[in-house]
Amino acid sequence: MISVKSVEKRYGDAVAVSGLSFDVRRGDIVGLLGHNGAGKTTIMKVMTGYLEPTAGAVQIDGLDVIKDRQAVQKKIGYLPENAPLYPELQVQEYLQLMAELRGLKGGKRAEAIEEALEATGLTARRFQTIQTLSKGFRQRVGLAQAILHKPDLLILDEPTNGLDPVQILEIRALIKRLAQDTTILLSTHILSEIEAVCDRVVILIQGELAADASLDELMSSAELRLTLSGAKDAQQVTKRLSRLSEVGSVSAISAEPGHISLSICPPSSEAEQGAGSADLTVLAERVHKEVSDAGWAVSHLARHEQSLEEIFRDLMSDHVSRQRAALNEKEAV
C-alpha cells in the first residue's frame, strides 16, 4: 500500500529525514514511533503530497506521490496533529463543506456524511457547533472528515494528543473499528499507543529508520529468563550452564540466597539472527535438564518479552553510541 524508498528531506542544512525506506501492506495498522522531532510529521506530509522530498520517492497504491499527486490524495484520508476545523460551523455543515471539497455531491454526499457521523459517534451532535465540543469530540470531527470519501489509506498524526484518558480510549477504539475497512498509519511518541492499537511499528530516531517489525517480532527477544529456588551460588549455576553448547552467555539478574534469576542467550550468531521459537525451545529444554540434574528447582523458565520502552531505550542508546563513534572517527582524521 505504501512504499517509501530512500527518502530524504532537508530544510537548508537541517536534515529532517535521512535515507528512510519502509513498506506498509494493505490492511495493516502501523505505528510511526519516535521522539519529538524524529521526523514523523515530515514523512507523513511527504506521503500526502504536502511536502516534496529532497531525494527519494514515495508510492501510494502504486502511484507516485509527486507525479500523481491528486490521484494519490483521493486515496488518502489525513488527520494532521491540529485538525483545521471551523469552530463557528455545525458538525454537519463542516462535513458538508469537506464532502464538497472531496467532490461528493447529491445523494453520495448525504450518504457519506451519514456514514461518517455514525462511524465516529457524532450523529447526536450533528447540529452542535464545533466550538462547543470537547477536544475529544473535535478529534472525532477531524476523523469524520478524513473518512468521508472511504479512503484506502488513513494517515493520523498524533490522534490522541492532548486528550484525557477516557477520550484516548474512545479514539483508540474508533481507530480499531476504522481499520476494518482501511489501512492505517498513525504517528505518536507515546509507547502505550503503539502497543494498544498497532500491528507493526516503524521507529524513527533523528530522521533515520531504527526499526521496522511487527510488535510480536520486536518484543520477542532471543533470550531466556530462568529463576531458580534452592540454588545458593549464582556463580556455580552460571559456570555450569555456560558449559552447554546451546548456551552463548549467562548473566545473573538477581542473586539472593535460595532465589537466583538469570538471563540466558544462545550463541551470538543465533542471537543476532533472532533465534526462533523452536531454537529457544531446544535451549530451554537443555537448560531445564541441566538444572534439574543439579537438583535445583525451576520457578520460572520462559522467553523474555521485552517492553516497547526497553526496545526504544536500547535503540536510542545504540544511535547515540554510533553518533559518538562517528564523531570521534571524524575528529581523529
Q: Per residue of the chain (333 residues), what is the pLDDT tens digit?
A: 899 999 999 999 899 999 999 999 998 999 999 888 899 999 999 999 999 999 999 999 999 999 999 999 999 999 998 888 999 999 999 999 999 999 999 899 999 999 999 988 899 999 999 999 998 899 899 999 999 999 999 999 988 887 888 888 888 888 888 888 899 999 988 888 888 899 899 999 999 999 998 888 887 777 888 998 877 788 888 999 999 988 988 988 887 767 889 888 888 655 444 555 557 888 889 999 998 998 888 988 888 877 888 888 888 888 777 777 777 777 776
Cβ partners under 8 Å of residue 269, min gap 6 = none
Angstrom distance (rounded) from CA 1 to CA 153: 8
Report field, pTM of the whole predicted structure over 0.85:
no
Q: Which CATH architecture has domain 2-217?
A: 3-Layer(aba) Sandwich (3.40)
> Could you give the dihedral angle defined by the CA atoms of residues 314, 316, 320 and 322, in that order, rounded to the nearest 10 degrees?
70
Q: What is the CATH number of domain 221-305?
A: 3.30.70.260
Query: Within the chain, which residue ranges are assigned CATH 3.30.70.260?
Result: 221-305
Query: Within the chain, which residue ranges are assigned CATH 3.40.50.300?
Result: 2-217
Which pairs count as long-range contacts for 96-103, CB under 8 Å and 24+ apart, including other chains? 98/145, 98/148, 99/148, 99/149, 102/148, 102/149, 103/149
